[in-house]
Structure 1
Amino acid sequence: MLNLARQTLKRVPSFQELLQGKMGSAKEEISVDVLVIGAGPTGLGAAKRLNQIDGPSWLIVDSNETPGGLASTDVTPEGFLYDVGGHVIFSHYKYFDDCIDEALPNDDDWYTHQRISYVRYKGLWVPYPFQNNLSMLPKDDQARCVDGLIDAALEARVANTKAKNFDEWIMRQMGVGIADVFMRPYNYKVWAVPTTKMQCEWLGERVAAPNVKGVINNIIHNKTAGNWGPNATFRFPARDGTGGIWVAVAKTLPESKTRYGEHATVTKVDAAGHRVTLKDGTVVNYKKLVNTMAVDSLVESIGDKELISLSKELYFSSTHVIGVGIRGERPERIGDKCWLYFPEDNCPFYRATIFSNYSPYNQPQKDVKLATQQLADGSKPSSTEPKEGPYWSIMLEVSESGLKPVDGKNMLRDSIQGLINTEMIKPDDEIVTTYHRRFDHGYPTPSLEREGALTKLLPALQAQDIWSRGRFGSWRYEVGNQDHSFMLGVEAVDNIVNGSVELTLNYPDFVNSRKNTERRLEDGAQIFAKSSLSLRNKGVD
């Protein structure tokens, strides 16, 4: 195994030093033991671990001016914050908790929320998860869904094969009723592909399998099921949105080992030569590379035809994030709702987050004067004179793919109309800000072809000393949350330095299982050693 700590290499100059000419021109050649591409959660996890080890020389580069990647936060000119997707903090790892608590250490840095989440169906708010709360449906729909549940339960007793795809898993677990009224239409809106084109190995505990007796009992007694899932309680930063977490984590790293901005864009990866060229001409020689850019983009940059061909088997959807800021008190019908699901076709979005409920600092304070840009129905306001709030806000997500095209030019208009259609807002509500941003790589699709590609692609890259990790670096949605992504970077570094098992990448079911709870109570430094030893004792290499 390579002992990186014993190797002496040139100190990495800071960008400021390069600008001032203290160490030569920007077009210089430097060397590090470990180069990290991307300063999202995965890259920052890798950098954090490298900094703690205090042995290998390292550098992290990112083409954005601000760290955070797909977990960053934008601010509108009017002062409304919008995350670049629906992000909340719930963790499977004590190490992760310790790192973000170090970055944001004060009690008033955080809010803790109980998830209040619903599905919008036929003008009703059905508590999440839908399949556990059929008692809220109209009687005809209840009967249809229960029929399917009973049929599925009977068939499951004699089934002797695994489900071949996500659609078959849905049918076996829930039956045709729930499949048709919720699971199929909703998941198509999320993933932008039919459920028949998705595998089911990614599910783990992410989708609630209904308890048939419990569901029927709730219907008879007109009761709803309690909160379910790992994010039933979650944290959210008081200020600066989700992106503020990662800006704070980045500030705990040495400035001399970070480069952000367009000049730090990777233009070429020479895998054979172990070197990366940046946009400003700088050449970085590395011994090991932790890559967090999308793996399909990485192999294009490398130019390896065989790897490029493998990457064509990986599918993704694009995501549109839409924000709407509204003047007025938060309506009673909105209340303390967190995020809401929309399976029906009366709106383009699949999820809405009441972003103003996460923190009072996610929108301007009441005394800030803003002009009304439009009324919700698209008409002009009677006055555009700036006036005070209060304000509240909604964040929406819309998926897009070749199988699910969208009208990008009218996305904002159609989304606002969808909010009216679903009674989230009223036609005469005053809109004071709007936001729309498209992310080309939004969701890594757990397609039927995914594992066949990844089991060849990732080892082929690692054989060239490239650890490709992260939401799109390793392309496994089931370990793509912020805590997972961060730990993918941490564990990649531990694997590079001392050969530790990468649990998150290789054993996602174990990491996500409820049985894993006790791991969070252990000291972070002991996690990898204990888990690796346990797996090896079971014959897992």
Structure 2
Amino acid sequence: MPKAEKVEVLCIGAGPTGLGAAKRLNQLACPSWLVVDSCDEVGGLASTDVTAQGFLFDVGGHVIFSHYKYFDDCLDEALPEPEDWQHHQRVSYVRSRNTWVPYPYQNNIAMLPKEDQVVALTGMIDAYAAAKTATDKPSNFDEWIMRNMGEGIANLFMRPYNFKVWAVPATKMQCEWLGERVSVPDLKLTATNIILSTVTSNWGPNATFRFPSREGTGGIWKAVRKTLPESRVRNSTVIIKINTTRNEATTSTGDVIAYRSLLSTMPVDVLCKMLHPPRDDLVKLSQNLFFSTTHVIGIGIRGPRPARIGDKCWLYFPEDDAPFYRATVFSNYALANVPPSDAKLPTLRRANEKEGYGRLDSTEKEGPYWSLLLEVAESSYKPVNADTLVEETIKGAVATTLMHDSDEIVSLYYRSFLHGYPTPTLDRNAQLQFLLPELKKLGIWSRGRFGSWKYEVANQDHSFMLGVEAVDSIMFGAPEISLHNPNYVNGKYNTERQLTSNAPTATFGAAPAADIILDDFLTTNSAK
């Protein structure tokens, strides 16, 4: 028989955003709140799957680096022991012109063949000269690439790679999202590297990162879940309708959850279709938001990690000899990501099973083992044949020297996600500026990677804090800094809030706690 219940705050989705909201609601002692999720485990797009052979694969390339002390505190509370984490120095390359170019590519063209160095450097010089006289801002991402890097790097790397990862032409993307995401080349540094045959590779916020020692990225969110009251986070609960007149959410089993405020982390285009009474204007507008689908392929391999792989972390592939845009050497992140060496597994196939390496030995044998995680993007601009994608991925891994023809594959993993990347198209901001406030008028805070559709604040730390800040907005009317000021967040907002603050316990509807008001932010942004 259908059930009815009532809460002050209902959150749909138990990924990083929903769990961030849960942490804040619990910290502030909200009298009644509930997080529901359709999956049987928490984590959302930051979860981890395990194959039948015991290989772990994240549902996409994830590492932990943070812009927020509050986020760090929550993770350290959930996984408090030093042995809970592996700490890494990023070792990242671009596969270009049959060689490995250290990331960021644009600063390390010294690794390219001489003729490509000339093309790239000439383009950079032209771009530098043109930028001196430019009086307007780039109107799209492609113009930004040309103005900052020139035609050589644009054609060698930036255009083909970004089409592979975004599955949309750079001319159709805005450039406001870039922030810390893309390194702008230093002309003097690049010229110096060419002359001295040196490289520069420590750029970016994820130059160092940490990764959980066990259970993959999903293990982080399972651990965070354990710090919360068990009854407040409910899995295997599918919301099918949201009545904005009665403030009620209906589940697939007919249960009704009444709420005062709703935080939704589902894709906003899906959310708008669930509203009752229908809002055709919101449905139509949300359907115009562009996104790409992500296909994730995992390969478990028997044998010692090859010297050519070494300590590489993740690798970029702009060229068309492989369908994937990124490969992660997932076994390098944690020993537990692969089975122990003494685990006996049969060989499923060779990497190139058509080359004829003799009869396949199906006898169960011991390891050691290593693994690759590869990602492929799809959209209406870039179709993908899912039926042949795994085979094409294996061939691409061989073509790019990630694997050899004779490598023994002992485990294969494949999963696709309809909503993979929220694309910052040219008209995205205008769409969101109408959509999100209209939903808020209905008592719905739509937040998260696809809830607020802002890639620039869609990492795990950002997503978590979108949930935290949405709760502060719901309870106190506090500003949502991550949502509205991504550049500020990514630039300096990383030490101003702590889980272990001395703020008084807040009650629902009470005045803001001391740690909610960010004086520095409000002072420096009051005129904006």
Match of 1:385 in 2: 363
User: Is 1:443 matched up with 2:418?
Assistant: no
Change beyond 3 A, Cα 1:501–1:176: same
Tell me the secondary structure at the aligned position of residue 408 of structure 1: coil
- Could you tell me how far apart the structure 1 residues matched to 2:496 and 2:199 are? 32
Match of 1:242 in 2: 217
Match of 2:394 in 1: 416
User: Is 1:266 matched up with 2:244?
Assistant: no
Structure 1 vs Structure 2 CA RMSD: 1.5
User: Is 1:426 matched up with 2:404?
Assistant: yes
- Could you tell me how far apart the structure 1 residues matched to 2:418 and 2:287 are? 16
- Could you tell me how far apart the structure 1 residues matched to 2:364 and 2:137 are? 61
Match of 1:72 in 2: 47
Match of 2:115 in 1: 140
Match of 1:103 in 2: 78
**Superposed displacement of residue 265, structure 1:** 0.3
Q: Which runs of 5+ in 1 are unaligned?
A: 1-24
Tell me the secondary structure at the aligned position of residue 439 of structure 1: strand
Q: Paired residue for 2:271, among 298, 321, 324?
A: 298
1:362-393 Cα shifts (integer Å, max 9, x gaps): 01000000000000002485310101000000
- Could you tell me how far apart the structure 1 residues matched to 2:63 and 2:74 are? 16
**Superposed displacement of residue 521, structure 1:** 8.4
- Could you tell me how far apart the structure 2 residues matched to 1:164 and 1:300 are? 32
- Could you tell me how far apart the structure 2 residues matched to 1:463 and 1:184 are? 40
- Could you tell me how far apart the structure 2 residues matched to 1:99 and 1:258 are? 17
- Could you tell me how far apart the structure 1 residues matched to 2:314 and 2:446 are? 32
Q: Which runs of 5+ in 2 are unaligned?
A: 504-513
Give the aligned residue type for 1:332.
A
- Could you tell me how far apart the structure 2 residues matched to 1:217 and 1:40 are? 45
**Superposed displacement of residue 538, structure 1:** 4.2
**Contact 1:34/1:59 (CA < 8 Å) preserved in 2?**
yes
Change beyond 3 A, Cα 1:272–1:352: same
User: Is 1:494 matched up with 2:468?
Assistant: no
**Superposed displacement of residue 440, structure 1:** 0.3
User: Is 1:150 matched up with 2:128?
Assistant: no
- Could you tell me how far apart the structure 2 residues matched to 1:175 and 1:534 are? 36
Tell me the secondary structure at the aligned position of residue 336 of structure 2: coil
**Superposed displacement of residue 536, structure 1:** 4.9
- Could you tell me how far apart the structure 2 residues matched to 1:525 and 1:410 are? 56
1:425-483 Cα shifts (integer Å, max 9, x gaps): 11011000001101000000000110010000000000111000000000000000000
Match of 2:312 in 1: 337
**Superposed displacement of residue 539, structure 1:** 2.2
Match of 2:522 in 1: 535
Match of 1:47 in 2: 22
TM norm structure 1: 0.93
User: Is 1:315 matched up with 2:290?
Assistant: yes
Give the aligned residue type for 2:175.
C
- Could you tell me how far apart the structure 1 residues matched to 2:521 and 2:334 are? 41
Change beyond 3 A, Cα 1:338–1:123: same
- Could you tell me how far apart the structure 1 residues matched to 2:81 and 2:467 are? 25
- Could you tell me how far apart the structure 1 residues matched to 2:16 and 2:515 are? 19
**Superposed displacement of residue 43, structure 1:** 0.4
**Contact 1:313/1:449 (CA < 8 Å) preserved in 2?**
no
- Could you tell me how far apart the structure 2 residues matched to 1:55 and 1:71 are? 26
- Could you tell me how far apart the structure 1 residues matched to 2:367 and 2:520 are? 58
**Contact 1:327/1:390 (CA < 8 Å) preserved in 2?**
yes
TM norm structure 2: 0.95
Give the aligned residue type for 1:28.
K
Percent identity, please. 57
Give the aligned residue type for 1:168.
E
Change beyond 3 A, Cα 1:522–1:105: closer
**Contact 1:95/1:524 (CA < 8 Å) preserved in 2?**
no
Q: Paired residue for 2:488, among 510, 513, 527?
A: 510
**Superposed displacement of residue 535, structure 1:** 1.8
**Superposed displacement of residue 499, structure 1:** 1.4
**Contact 1:199/1:447 (CA < 8 Å) preserved in 2?**
yes
Match of 1:456 in 2: 434
**Superposed displacement of residue 279, structure 1:** 1.2
**Superposed displacement of residue 222, structure 1:** 0.7
Q: Paired residue for 1:200, among 175, 200, 207?
A: 175
- Could you tell me how far apart the structure 1 residues matched to 2:447 and 2:23 are? 15
Change beyond 3 A, Cα 1:236–1:204: same
- Could you tell me how far apart the structure 2 residues matched to 1:469 and 1:457 are? 12
Match of 2:184 in 1: 209
**Contact 2:497/2:515 (CA < 8 Å) preserved in 1?**
no
**Superposed displacement of residue 257, structure 1:** 1.4
1:21-41 Cα shifts (integer Å, max 9, x gaps): xxxx4x111100000000000
Greater than 4 Å deviation, 4+ residue runs: 520-528
**Contact 2:300/2:410 (CA < 8 Å) preserved in 1?**
yes
Give the aligned residue type for 1:437.
R
**Contact 1:293/1:473 (CA < 8 Å) preserved in 2?**
yes
- Could you tell me how far apart the structure 2 residues matched to 1:538 and 1:265 are? 40
Change beyond 3 A, Cα 1:322–1:508: same
Q: Paired residue for 2:6, among 31, 42, 66?
A: 31
**Contact 2:352/2:406 (CA < 8 Å) preserved in 1?**
yes
Match of 1:405 in 2: 383
Q: Paired residue for 1:275, among 243, 248, 269?
A: 248
Q: Paired residue for 2:230, among 233, 236, 255?
A: 255
Give the aligned residue type for 1:342.
F
Change beyond 3 A, Cα 1:533–1:420: closer
- Could you tell me how far apart the structure 1 residues matched to 2:323 and 2:154 are? 20
**Superposed displacement of residue 161, structure 1:** 0.5
